[in-house]
């Protein structure tokens, strides 16, 4: 854990609040978790492009540059995701206190010169993202409608002029997106929205805090994996979902939950 994170966690604690456990997500596991869904929908996209080329006939020369550009763009996005997701994981810490669970992430640094930095005490509010159900639907519904319209249009096109590559590509793309939604528990419903996020400046750092008081938890989902790791999802009808992905040292974390959150945890292997 980088030195700033532990000090930032202690700075976040309210008066009388006790830190019981903290740990960082497994950055390598983060990469492994995004690969399966990416492979599925990228394979679908490739098959879809092959099918489109097959249907293009004499227009292949005009269609090919656009398809190549699309594949290159998607590949570039995938590479950037593989680079920045683990980097963000190394700047993140999960913490459990006697009152709540929270995720603290260093978003950016105003300067990389630490020689003039004092202790990371105090914080100034920069922004507050409440993420209410109304805000969730306002920001997500347009994209969901566009996706649904495109899926319907492709399905109608396949029915009118069936091509095995286009059909398989379509199925793989949809399956890949659904797998991603399942892995991160991001189904397109307001109850699966992110928890409110507070952004603060602390010395030369910009940090974000997402928290979940134990009293607000309505249900949990724990997806265990090898090496004492797990994805921990804390769900609340009031606050959405706090996602502690690729958590390490899970045994100690669950012991804290058993002590402070009496309802039995729902566990998925």
Q: Check residue 85 and give its pLDDT.
A: 79
Burial of 235 (0-12, 13-18, 19+ CB in 10 A): buried
Residue where the block lists tokens 């979940």? 212
Burial 34-70 (b: 16+ CB within 10 A, else e): beebbebbbbbbbbbbbbbeeeeeeeeeeeeeebeee
What integer best gives the mean pLDDT of the chain? 83
Mean pLDDT to the nearest integer, 159-185? 84
Distance from C-alpha of 150 to C-alpha of 137, rounded to nearest angstrom: 19
How many other C-beta atoms lie within 10 A of the C-beta of residue 18? 8
Over 90: is that where the pLDDT of 209 sits?
yes
Distance of alpha carbon 110 from its chain centroid, rounded?
25
Distance from C-alpha of 195 to C-alpha of 240, rounded to nearest angstrom: 5
Q: Are 222 and 130 in contact (CB under 8 A)?
A: no
Whether the pTM exceeds 0.85: the reply is no
Confidence of residue 114 (pLDDT cuts 50, 70, 90): low
Q: Check residue 118 and give its pLDDT.
A: 56
Q: Check residue 168 and give its pLDDT.
A: 86
Over 90: is that where the pLDDT of 194 sits?
yes
Encoded tokens for 37: 């869904």
């Amino acid at each position: 854990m980088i030195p700033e994170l532990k000090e930032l966690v202690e700075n976040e604690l309210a008066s009388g609040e006790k830190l019981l456990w903290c740990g960082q997500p497994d950055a390598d596991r983060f990469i492994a978790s995004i690969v399966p869904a990416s492979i599925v929908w990228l394979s679908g996209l490739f098959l879809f492009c092959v099918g489109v080329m097959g249907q293009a006939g004499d227009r292949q020369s005009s269609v090919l540059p656009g398809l190549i550009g699309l594949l290159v763009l998607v590949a570039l996005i995938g590479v950037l995701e593989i680079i920045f997701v683990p980097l963000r994981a190394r700047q993140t810490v999960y913490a459990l206190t006697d009152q709540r669970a929270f995720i603290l992430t260093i978003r950016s640094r105003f300067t990389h010169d630490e020689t003039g930095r004092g202790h990371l005490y105090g914080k100034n509010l920069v922004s507050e993202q409440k993420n209410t159900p109304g805000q969730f639907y306002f920001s997500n519904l347009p994209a969901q409608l566009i996706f649904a319209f495109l899926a319907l249009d492709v399905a109608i096109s396949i029915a009118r002029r069936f091509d095995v590559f286009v059909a398989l590509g379509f199925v793989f793309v949809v399956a890949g997106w659904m797998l991603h939604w399942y892995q991160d528990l991001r189904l397109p419903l307001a109850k699966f929205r992110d928890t409110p996020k507070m952004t603060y400046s602390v010395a030369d750092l910009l940090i974000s805090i997402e928290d979940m008081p134990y009293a607000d938890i309505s249900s949990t989902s724990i997806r265990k994996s090898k090496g004492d790791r797990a994805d921990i999802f804390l769900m609340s009808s009031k606050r959405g979902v706090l996602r502690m992905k690729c958590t390490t040292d899970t045994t100690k974390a669950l012991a804290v939950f058993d002590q402070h959150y009496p309802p039995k945890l729902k566990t998925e292997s």
